[in-house]
């Protein structure tokens, strides 16, 4: 349990440092560059979901996991465009 909490703490710290570095380095970047970086990040998240979390989800919840995942991404997309 302690190892897992330490791992997640390290992930949070690395994410915060990366976000600050990205803001500092890409704060004045063109919209095309920002779109490229966001596309890469979205692909990384989808890869992590497909590789790590979805197999276990399929075992526990069945075939509906794919549809629920897509619905979640659509909801996030709509929220980002409504609130953004």
DSSP character string of 43-69? HHHHHHIIIIIHHHHHHHHTTHHHHHH
Q: In the chain, which residues have pLDDT < 70? A: 84
Q: Give backbone dihedrals phi and psi of 30, rounded to 5 degrees, phi first.
A: -70, 155
Task: Provide the pLDDT for residue 21.
Answer: 94
Share of the chain above pLDDT 90, in %: 36
Dump pLDDT digits (tens) for 20-35.
Answer: 998 999 889 999 998 9
Task: Provide the pLDDT for residue 20.
Answer: 95
């Amino acid at each position: 349990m302690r190892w897992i909490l330490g791992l997640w703490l390290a992930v949070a710290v690395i994410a915060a440092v990366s976000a600050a570095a990205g803001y500092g380095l890409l704060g004045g970047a063109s919209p095309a560059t920002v779109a490229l970086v966001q596309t890469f990040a979205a692909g990384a998240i989808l890869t992590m979901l497909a590789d790590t979390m979805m197999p276990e989800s399929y075992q526990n919840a069945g075939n509906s996991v794919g549809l629920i995942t897509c619905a979640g991404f659509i909801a996030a997309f709509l929220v980002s465009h409504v609130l953004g």
